[in-house]
């Protein structure tokens, strides 16, 4: 009985101290995108490759470009549901659906976006290399203006 308790405590300690896996990194990235404030540095730290280069270029463009990038703070994240994962030791491809609602008055709407995120294990951590849209669904009582 004591051995079983020791094993359970050891496993719990090890699992709590592990680095973030690919799904946790993706969820953290999406949560940062929906938070208000300047999260650009934190987002850059979770990315690699083309996505990282795109985010770094935003930091040099100035305040106006960053305001356009931060438009996601106008929305409320409702859910993030992982549909599938295809992972090995170095790469991971996650297909997920994110649904959100526009906050502003006038013409609120709901959106559901299916994306695929490609992650790589780089420098001892999972990082997002690219995110691509697969399918979008919007629901509104009025026409949605871009």
- pLDDT of res. 23: 95
Instruction: List the helix and strand counts (H, then E) for the chain.
Output: 5, 4
- pLDDT of res. 80: 92
SS3 66: helix
Q: Which two tokens stand for residue 121?
A: 């294990």
- Alpha-carbon distance of 39 to 33, in angstroms, equals 8
Residue pair 115/98 in contact by the 8 Å Cβ criterion: yes
- pLDDT of res. 96: 96
Closest CA to 43 of 125, 128, 124, 108: 128
Residue 133 phi/psi, 5° resolution? -80, 135
- pLDDT of res. 61: 76
- Alpha-carbon distance of 132 to 142, in angstroms, equals 27
- pLDDT of res. 19: 60
Q: Please report which helix (H) or strand (E) contains residue 37, including its range.
A: none
- pLDDT of res. 9: 42
Q: Which two tokens stand for residue 119?
A: 């992650």
- pLDDT of res. 8: 42
Q: Does domain 19-140 have CATH number 3.10.450.50?
A: yes
pLDDT in tens, the chain (146 residues): 545 444 444 444 334 434 689 999 999 999 888 887 778 889 999 999 999 998 888 878 777 777 776 766 678 778 899 999 999 999 999 999 999 888 666 777 888 999 999 999 998 999 999 999 888 888 877 777 66
SS3 107: coil
HSE of 66, CA atoms in CB hemisphere, 13 A: 15
Closest CA to 112 of 75, 69, 57: 75
């Amino acid at each position: 009985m004591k051995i079983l308790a020791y094993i359970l405590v050891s496993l719990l300690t090890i699992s709590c101290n592990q680095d973030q896996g690919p799904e946790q990194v993706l969820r953290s990235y999406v949560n940062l995108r929906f938070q208000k404030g300047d999260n650009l540095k934190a987002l850059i730290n979770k990315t690699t490759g083309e996505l990282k280069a795109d985010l770094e270029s935003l930091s040099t463009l100035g305040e106006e470009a960053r305001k356009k990038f931060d438009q996601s703070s106008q929305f409320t994240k409702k859910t993030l549901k992982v549909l599938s994962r295809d992972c090995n030791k170095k790469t991971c491809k996650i297909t997920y659906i994110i649904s959100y609602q526009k906050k502003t008055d006038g013409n609120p709407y709901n959106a559901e976006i299916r994306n695929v995120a490609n992650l790589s294990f780089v420098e001892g951590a999972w990082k997002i290399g690219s995110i691509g849209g697969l399918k979008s669904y919007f629901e509104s009582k009025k026409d949605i203006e871009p």
